[in-house]
């Protein structure tokens, strides 16, 4: 007796489409209270930096001998410093420098480091050896020490500080880009593109870079907080943003020189740095969980 089955005639169950990266990122970002709070903090500080001239109650550079070391009040919410300058106004304007350096420097470092890493990983040979040795030399120095050395040569100034932080972060991006390029280079679609005669620039920009973008974006997001801390450290040491231009780092340095007269610059700027760095770290962790193929499911 023959037994007939109709399984072949039944429709096969369709698999649910995998959610896109942006959708998963939005879900991960707004599904936890901590990341919602971190996102709100970043948005608030960015808005404060953008609209600083409209928000700041006073000129951050205006000095007054009659308002030296004033306690917090309705007129000066965070008091004044040893020069009679409003601490809150200086913090609001200082957020511009800190966030600009924190956002621009990792992006430039990601671009430069990715170019070096892709060139070294794809072409190999003497090009790979030369670039790798230079990267290893830069990686031998801690980021802060390398930044101090370069800043001591270039000096302060807006673009000099950006260049210092960018150079300090380039080796890390180059190392990640090179490792990812070596892995992607062995994929069959790269070998097929080479076999049919696709030009090298097209292979790099169309096939290699899009497939190594995820770890680069993750690293760039995580290092925004590091760039803000590094800029604050350089400004605190006097080789970053130069006075009288306000930055959270030199606000803390000015407050340290006048600690017993008015501690509010240290408290305010320290709190701002802590909030922003912690918020960017939390957001960076979410981006890593979503985009990192070794972690995301």
Could you tell me the pTM of the whole model?
Answer: 0.81
- Is residue 28 a part of any domain in this protein? yes
- Whether residue 115 lies inside any domain: the answer is yes
In a domain, 2, yes or no: no
* Residue-number span of the structural domain to which 287 is assigned: 22-63+77-291
Kindly state whether residue 15 falls inside one of the protein's structural domains.
Answer: no
Q: What CATH number is associated with residue 159?
A: 1.10.3720.10
3-state DSSP assignment of residue 154: helix
If one counts every other C-beta atom within 10 angstroms of the C-beta of residue 118, the result is 22
pLDDT tens track for 258-278: 888 889 999 999 999 999 999
Phi-psi region of 124 (alpha: psi -120 to 50; beta: other; left: phi over 0): left
| Separation between Cα atoms, residue 103 and residue 45, nearest integer Å | 13
Residue 168 counted as domain residue: yes
What tens digit of pLDDT does each residue of 20-40 get? 667 877 777 788 888 899 999
Q: Please give the pLDDT value at position 270.
A: 93
If you average pLDDT over residues 129-146, what whole number do you get?
89
For residue range 138-150, list pLDDT tens digits in order: 888 888 888 888 8
235 or 11, higher pLDDT:
235
Taking only the tens place, the pLDDT of each residue in 182-206 is: 999 888 888 888 888 888 889 988 8
User: How far, in whole angstroms, is CA 296 from its chain's centroid?
Assistant: 21
pLDDT at 88 over 70: yes
DSSP string, 86-147: BHHHHHHHHHHHHHHHHHHHHHHHHHHHHHHHHHHHHH-HHHHHHHHHHHHHHHTS-HHHHH
Rg of the chain in Å (alpha carbons): 25
Per the domain annotation, does 203 fall within a domain?
Answer: yes
Total domains, the chain: 1
Residue 17 has pLDDT above 70, yes or no: no
Pair of tokens at residue 243: 């006075």
DSSP state of 296: -
Residue 134 lies in a domain: yes
Contacts of 68 (CB under 8 A, 6+ apart): 80, 81, 82, 83, 84, 261
∠ CA 210-215-218, rounded to 5° = 115
Say if 95 falls within a structural domain: yes
């Amino acid at each position: 007796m023959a037994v007939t089955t109709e399984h072949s005639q039944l429709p096969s169950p369709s698999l649910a489409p995998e959610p896109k990266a942006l959708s998963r990122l939005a879900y991960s970002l707004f599904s936890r209270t901590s990341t919602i709070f971190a996102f709100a903090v970043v948005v608030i500080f960015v808005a404060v930096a953008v609209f600083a001239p409209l928000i700041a109650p006073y000129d951050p550079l205006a000095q007054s001998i009659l308002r030296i070391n004033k306690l917090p009040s309705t007129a000066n919410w965070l008091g004044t410093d040893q020069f009679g300058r409003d601490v809150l106004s200086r913090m609001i304007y200082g957020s511009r420098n800190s966030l600009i350096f924190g956002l621009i420097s990792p992006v430039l470092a990601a671009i430069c480091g990715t170019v070096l890493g892709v060139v070294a990983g794809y072409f190999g040979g003497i090009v790979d050896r030369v670039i790798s040795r230079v990267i290893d030399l830069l990686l031998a120095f801690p980021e802060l020490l390398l930044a101090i050395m370069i800043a001591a040569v270039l000096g302060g100034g807006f673009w000099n500080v950006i260049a210092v932080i960018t150079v300090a972060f380039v080796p890390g991006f180059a190392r990640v880009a090179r490792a990812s390029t070596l892995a992607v280079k062995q994929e069959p679609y790269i070998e097929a593109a080479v076999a049919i005669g696709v030009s090298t620039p097209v292979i790099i920009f169309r096939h290699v870079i899009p497939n190594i973008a995820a770890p680069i974006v993750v690293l760039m997001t995580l290092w925004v907080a590091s760039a803000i801390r590094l800029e604050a450290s350089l400004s605190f040491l006097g080789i970053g943003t130069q006075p009288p231009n306000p930055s959270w780092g030199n606000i803390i340095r000015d407050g340290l020189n006048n600690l017993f007269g008015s501690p509010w610059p240290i408290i305010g700027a320290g709190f701002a740095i802590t909030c922003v760095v912690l918020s960017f770290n939390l957001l960076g962790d979410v981006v890593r969980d979503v985009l990192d193929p070794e972690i995301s499911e």
